[in-house]
Amino acid sequence: MLKEERLDYILKKLQADHKVLQAELSNDLQVSEDTVRRDLEALAQSGQLIKVRGGAIPHSPNPYSFKERIVYHEDDKKHIASKALSFIHDGQTIILDGGTSTLMLAQILPLHLKATIITNSVPIAAKLVDHPSIDLIFTGGRIGKDSQTAGGMETIKMFQRIKADLCFLGICSLHPDAGVTGLDLNEADVKREMVASSYKTIALATSDKMGTAEPYKVCDIQGIDTIVTDNPELPSLKPYSNLGIQVI
């Protein structure tokens, strides 16, 4: 089989199974594992998959821009936000990450809620600035126009001064082995500090984010306490439950 045919087979299998294993590919393609490893490296270098130990997994399906992402899976995000709302109570200090699912959560916070909300998200801050009983803290820092979030050392230093009850983390990619990862190094650094600054971290993620990875590490999967998703019964979520993570 020609190399181009092998690469095409690998990508089709990855699309169908959401992962490929080096040993299985070696058997399927009737080539050595070294050949498969080189094929996977070639596909990883061209940005078509993420190599992990023993195989490969797909990239997140998300477009990069916040404006592009906000219209995707809108109904699923509303469902996720409504479930996430059950974790919020008066008197809490809460970090809201700058994702589209966290924006949906901010939009449905009840007017009687008395809590402190800390965010680096320009759209979330704009939404909550007129809330009658929320104490709003915006972290400041340099605004990324694609993400519409503040980032950099000023933002990180702000989170280092905080210990929040909850962090609601918007998720780009989630994987049992790769953990929480993202597309942007600076955003990943800020998200990592959010997790470290919170007693409990709740990931808000549509089911298409599961089993995917991107280049920049936010935290190990053990850094997540709860995953709130649109379809918690999917088999792809079983590995997270097996690790002791609450999935709802």
- For residue range 12-55, what is the model confidence (pLDDT) as tens digits? 888 777 788 999 999 999 999 999 999 999 988 887 888 888 88
For residues 211-225, give the mean pLDDT.
93
Instruction: Please tell me which residue, 67 or 11, carries the higher pLDDT value.
Output: 11
Q: Which of 7-11, 57-61, 66-70, 94-98 has the lowest mean pLDDT?
A: 66-70
Confidence of residue 161 (pLDDT cuts 50, 70, 90): very high
For residues 195-213, give the mean pLDDT.
93
Task: Output the pLDDT for position 66.
Answer: 64
- For residue range 84-108, what is the model confidence (pLDDT) as tens digits? 999 999 999 999 999 899 999 999 9
For residues 171-193, give the mean pLDDT.
93
Task: Output the pLDDT for position 51.
Answer: 85
| Overall pTM surpassing 0.95 (yes/no) | no
Domains delineated in the chain: 3-57 (1.10.10), 66-247 (3.40.50.1360)
Confidence of residue 2 (pLDDT cuts 50, 70, 90): confident
Task: Output the pLDDT for position 15.
Answer: 78
Instruction: Please tell me which residue, 46 or 203, carries the higher pLDDT value.
Output: 203
For residues 191-215, give the mean pLDDT.
93
Task: Output the pLDDT for position 236.
Answer: 84
3-state secondary structure the chain: CCHHHHHHHHHHHHHHHCCEEHHHHHHHHCCCHHHHHHHHHHHHHCCCCEEECCEEECCCCCCCCHHHHCCCCHHHHHHHHHHHHHHCCCCCEEEECCCHHHHHHHHCCCCCCCEEEEECEHHHHHHHCCCCCEEEEECCCEEECCCCEEECHHHHHHHHCCCEEEEEEECCEEECCCEEEECCHHHHHHHHHHHHCEEEEEEECCHHHECCCCCEEEECHHHCCEEECCCCCCHHHHHHHHCCCEEC
Q: At what angle do helices 185-196 and 153-160 cross, to 10 degrees?
A: 10
Residue 61 near residue 206 (C-beta atoms within 8 A): no
Task: Output the pLDDT for position 48.
Answer: 82
